[in-house]
C-alpha cells in the first residue's frame, strides 16, 4: 500500500515497557503526564487486539487527556507467559497496573470486548479502585453447560501435544487486505495501521501475527456466565455501555443480550447505540464513539 493509504496520526503515542507480575508488558500512552488533579484513563483492548488500535478513538477526542493502553499478556508487544492463559490473570494484571499508575485514586476504565468484560468484573471486585467504566461491546460469552466439559477437555489435551502455529503473510499489505475483508467498515488507511499494530516482520521477511497463537486454543475451563454476572452485580461505579448498531454480538447471547437483561445486572447503566458501527466500533466510528466517551468522562 502506498503513502496515500497511510493513516495520519494526530496525537503521537509514546511506548514503554513495564514489568507487571513477572512479565514485560507493553504500554501505549497519549496526552500529558497524569497528576493528582488530572488522572489517567485506562484503555483496555479486546481479544486478539492490542492497545495501539485505540489510536483512531484517541485522535477523535477534543481534549488531551492522560491515556494509558496496556497490551494484555500474550497480545501485541507484551511477553507471552509460558504457563498459558487464565482469565483471572487479566484481573491480576489490571490490579497491578492500577497500583503502579493510579495508586492513590480510583481509575476510569474504557474497555472494548474482552477488555470491557475485564473492566466490569474488576469494578465489581474492587469497587473502591474504579471511578467509572465505559464498556464498548463487552457483553460476555454465551452460557455453557457441564455436558460440554468432556469434549472441551479432550480438545485441549490434543492441542497440548502439537505446537501452536503462528499465521504468516507475505507482507503487511496482504495482512491489511485480510483485515479489511474481515472488517469492511475499516478504511484502507485504518486497515494498514491495524496490520502494522497486529503484525511483526520476522527475519525471513514474512509477516506474522504478534500475539501468541495459543490464544486460539480452547480454554479447558468452561465459561460460567453466572459467575461473571455475579461479579458484575457488585459494580457500583457509573457505567456507560456502547453498542454497535450493526454488531451481531448481542444476538449471539439470546435473552442475555437484551437491554432488559443488562439493566437487571446493572440498574444504573446508560446504554447508547452507535450508528454505522459493528463490534469494532472504536475503529468503525471513532467520530461517534469519542464524543460519547468524552462527555461521560467529563461528568464522572
Kindly list the domain boundaries of the chain, sorted by start residue: 3-141+224-299
| Nearest one of 220, 207, 115, 111 to 157, comparing CA atoms | 220
Q: Which residues of the chain have pLDDT under 50?
A: 1
- Give pLDDT, residue 172: 96
Task: Find all residues with CB under 8 Å of 36, minimum gap 6, and list them.
Answer: 104, 105
- Give pLDDT, residue 5: 78
Place of cell 439493566: 263
Supply angle C-alpha 110, 144, 165, rounded to 5: 70
pTM of this structure: 0.96
- Give pLDDT, residue 165: 82
- Give pLDDT, residue 127: 97
CATH: 3.50.50.60, 3.40.50.1820, 1.10.10.10, 3.30.70.600. Which one for 3-141+224-299?
3.40.50.1820
- Give pLDDT, residue 273: 97
8 Å CB contact between 199 and 166: no
Amino acid at each position: 500500500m502506498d503513502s496515500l493509504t497511510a493513516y495520519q496520526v494526530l496525537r503521537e503515542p509514546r511506548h514503554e515497557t513495564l514489568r507487571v507480575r513477572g512479565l514485560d508488558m507493553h504500554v501505549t500512552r497519549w496526552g500529558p503526564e497524569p497528576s493528582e488533579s488530572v488522572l489517567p484513563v485506562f484503555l483496555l483492548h479486546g481479544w486478539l487486539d492490542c492497545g495501539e488500535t485505540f489510536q483512531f478513538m484517541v485522535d477523535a477526542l477534543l481534549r488531551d487527556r492522560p491515556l494509558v493502553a496496556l497490551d494484555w499478556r500474550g497480545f501485541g508487544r507484551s511477553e507471552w507467559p509460558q504457563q498459558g492463559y487464565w482469565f483471572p490473570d487479566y484481573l491480576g494484571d489490571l490490579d497491578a497496573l492500577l497500583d503502579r499508575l493510579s495508586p492513590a485514586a480510583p481509575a476510569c476504565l474504557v474497555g472494548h470486548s474482552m477488555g470491557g468484560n475485564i473492566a466490569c468484573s474488576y469494578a465489581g471486585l474492587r469497587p473502591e479502585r474504579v471511578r467509572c467504566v465505559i464498556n464498548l461491546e463487552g457483553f460476555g460469552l454465551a452460557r455453557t453447560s457441564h455436558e460440554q466439559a468432556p469434549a472441551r477437555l479432550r480438545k485441549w489435551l490434543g492441542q497440548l501435544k502439537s505446537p501452536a502455529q503462528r499465521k504468516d503473510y507475505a507482507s503487511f499489505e496482504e495482512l491489511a487486505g485480510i483485515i479489511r475483508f474481515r472488517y469492511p467498515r475499516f478504511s484502507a488507511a485504518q486497515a494498514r495501521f491495524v496490520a502494522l499494530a497486529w503484525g511483526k516482520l520476522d527475519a525471513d521477511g514474512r509477516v506474522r501475527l504478534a500475539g501468541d497463537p495459543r490464544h486460539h486454543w480452547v480454554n479447558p475451563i468452561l465459561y460460567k456466565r453466572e459467575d461473571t454476572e455475579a461479579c458484575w452485580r457488585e459494580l457500583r461505579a457509573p457505567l456507560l455501555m456502547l453498542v454497535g448498531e450493526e454488531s451481531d454480538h448481542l444476538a449471539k447471547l439470546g435473552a442475555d443480550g437484551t437491554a432488559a437483561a443488562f439493566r437487571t445486572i446493572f440498574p444504573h447503566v446508560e446504554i447508547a447505540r452507535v450508528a454505522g458501527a459493528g463490534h469494532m466500533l472504536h475503529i468503525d466510528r471513532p467520530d461517534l464513539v469519542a464524543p460519547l466517551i468524552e462527555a461521560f468522562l467529563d461528568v464522572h
